[in-house]
Amino acid sequence: MSRRIGVMGGTFDPIHHGHLVAAEEARWQFDLDTVVFVPTGQPWQKPVGVSPAEDRYQMTVIATASNPAFTVSRLEIDHQGPTYTVDTLRRLRAEQPEGTRLFFITGADAVLQILTWKEPDQVLALSEFIAATRPGFDLDSLVNQVPGAAGRVHRVDIPALAISSSDVRGRVARGAPIQYLVPDGVARYIQKHRLYRGPAGG
Ligand code: NAP
pLDDT digits (tens, 9 = 90+) for 63-84: 999 999 999 999 999 998 889 9
Yes or no: say if 15 and 40 are a contact pair by the CB < 8 Å rule.
Answer: no
Return the SS3 of 143.
helix
Any atom of ligand 1 within 6 Å of the Cβ of 44: no
Residue 59 Cα to ligand 1 midpoint, Å, equals 16
Blockwise average pLDDT, block size 10, the chain, 202 residues: 94 98 98 98 71 96 98 95 93 94 94 88 94 80 74 90 95 97 98 86 54
Check if 132 has its Cβ closer than 6 Å to any atom of ligand 1: yes
CB 169 less than 6 A from any atom of ligand 1: no
- Strands (E) located in 100-202: 101-107, 128-133, 153-157
Output helix, strand, coil percentages for the chain, rounded to the nearest 5.
Answer: 40, 20, 40
Atom of ligand 1 nearest to the CA of 43: 26
Q: Is 84 in the pocket of ligand 1 (CB under 6 A)?
A: yes
* Under 8 Å between Cβ of 123 and 117: yes
Cβ atoms within 10 Å of 98's Cβ, excluding its own: 6
Q: In this predicted structure, what is the pLDDT of residue 200?
A: 53
Packing angle, helices 53-64 and 17-29, rounded to 10: 60
Q: What does the pLDDT read at residue 14? A: 98
Ligand 1 atom closest to the CA of 18, numbered from 1: 20
Atom of ligand 1 nearest to the CA of 117: 41
